[in-house]
Amino acid sequence: MVDFNKIATFLRAAETLNFSEAAKQLHLSQPTVSQQIKTLEQEMGVVLFTRTNTGLGLTEAGRLLLPWARRLLRETNNMQAMMSSIQNDVVGELRITCSTTAGKYVLPQMAARFCQRFPGVRVSILACTPEDVTLRLLEGDAHIGVLSREILDAGLEAQEFFRDRVTLIVPADHRWAFRKLIDPGELLEEPLILREETSGTRRMVLSELAKYDIGLGDLNIFMEMGNAEAIVRTVAAGYGIAFVSNLASACPLERGNVVDLKVDGLALKRRIYMVRKANSPSHRPRDAFWSFIHISENADLLQMPEQEP
């Protein structure tokens, strides 16, 4: 069984490369730190540090363990904070940035449920670009971000929020309206309303079309828009066809204003991610919300994007 105290001691020693300094920061004696590291090495059956006259260094095993130790302790702290929140009030401000249309449909309801559970938290949701999401998180202007692509920045960590389905919509009186499936090549002559360059929907659609040697220059781009709801309205008015999140087109589909179709061979499903700053000080509202989204009572919200209209 993992001894979290030994893992914490290893992490501090690995970061300082000095047992005496690690002991000082952990309020332990230097022999205690040395013994804990020795015991941990014996339990794992590996040597974690090289010990020379010039000082300490990490072995290959130590370097491999380091990110796991950080993640293990971080998630342990998150778990403890969440358990404490059950008995103690979670209060404060929670600032969330969101750059994806799908997130704008799921996130407000999730936040509302969270506020009902923790009425002492005041949630603010700000729409912005993916670049702004990253910048605001790293600078501390936001606690959580929602994006349609995974962030590889070492200063951030991500978890899957939910999965979204993108669909092709056409006007209700379009000649394809009674069809359920079209070939990718049929898209070439149709006036296409496309999302802006930074859009995750646009990026995914173009990536899938590239599998059929269809590029941006091959498409008949009628307009570009940065708002999914505006695109749906324009399609409903008969001015073109478009790819949008299933969530954005759900109500117009129900009203019969547009019709959705499948494009043969295109895998139009994507992950929506929740992101936060890694290795940052504990923030109760943020950490509670990070765990709250995946409790069983919220399964209906997380499954909503994949449901057929």
Assign residue 265 a region: left if phi > 0, alpha if psi is -120 to 50, beta otherwise? Answer: left
CATH number at residue 40: 1.10.10.10
Are residues 187 and 260 located together in one domain of the fold? yes
pLDDT for 284 beyond 60: yes
Are residues 10 and 99 located together in one domain of the fold? no
User: pLDDT of 124-144, one tens digit each?
Assistant: 998 888 888 888 898 888 999
| Whole-number pLDDT of residue 292 | 93
Look at the chain and report how many structural domains it folds into.
3
User: pLDDT of 3-46, one tens digit each?
Assistant: 778 888 888 888 888 888 888 888 888 888 888 888 888 888 89
Structural contact between residues 129 and 99, judged by C-beta atoms closer than 8 angstroms: yes
Q: Indicate the pLDDT class of residue 88, thresholds 50, 70 and 90.
A: low
User: pLDDT of 185-227, one tens digit each?
Assistant: 999 989 999 998 888 899 999 999 999 999 999 999 999 998 8
Structural contact between residues 66 and 49, judged by C-beta atoms closer than 8 angstroms: no
> Domain limits at 49?
4-85
| Whole-number pLDDT of residue 213 | 95
List the one residue out of 275, 302, 296 whose CA is nearest residue 286. 275
| Whole-number pLDDT of residue 146 | 93
0.75 exceeded by the pTM? no
Are residues 30 and 101 located together in one domain of the fold? no
CA atoms within 13 A of residue 283's CA, in its CB half-sphere: 19
CA atoms within 13 A of residue 48's CA, in its CB half-sphere: 28
CATH number at residue 157: 3.40.190.10
Domain final position from 35, 61, 85: 85
Domain final position from 28, 60, 85: 85
| Whole-number pLDDT of residue 216 | 92
* Mean pLDDT of the chain, nearest integer: 87
pLDDT for 248 beyond 90: no
Structural contact between residues 69 and 60, judged by C-beta atoms closer than 8 angstroms: no
| Whole-number pLDDT of residue 78 | 62
Supply 216's token pair.
């941006």
| Whole-number pLDDT of residue 226 | 85
Per-position DSSP letters for 178-233, written without gaps between them: T-SEE-GGGGTTS-EEEE-TT-HHHHHHHHHHHTTT--GGGS-EEEEES-HHHHHH
pLDDT for 100 beyond 80: yes
User: pLDDT of 60-83, one tens digit each?
Assistant: 988 898 888 888 877 776 666 556
pLDDT over 70, % of the chain: 94
Domain final position from 85, 105, 134: 85
pLDDT for 90 beyond 90: no
pLDDT for 148 beyond 70: yes
List the one residue out of 252, 238, 232 whose CA is nearest residue 173. 238
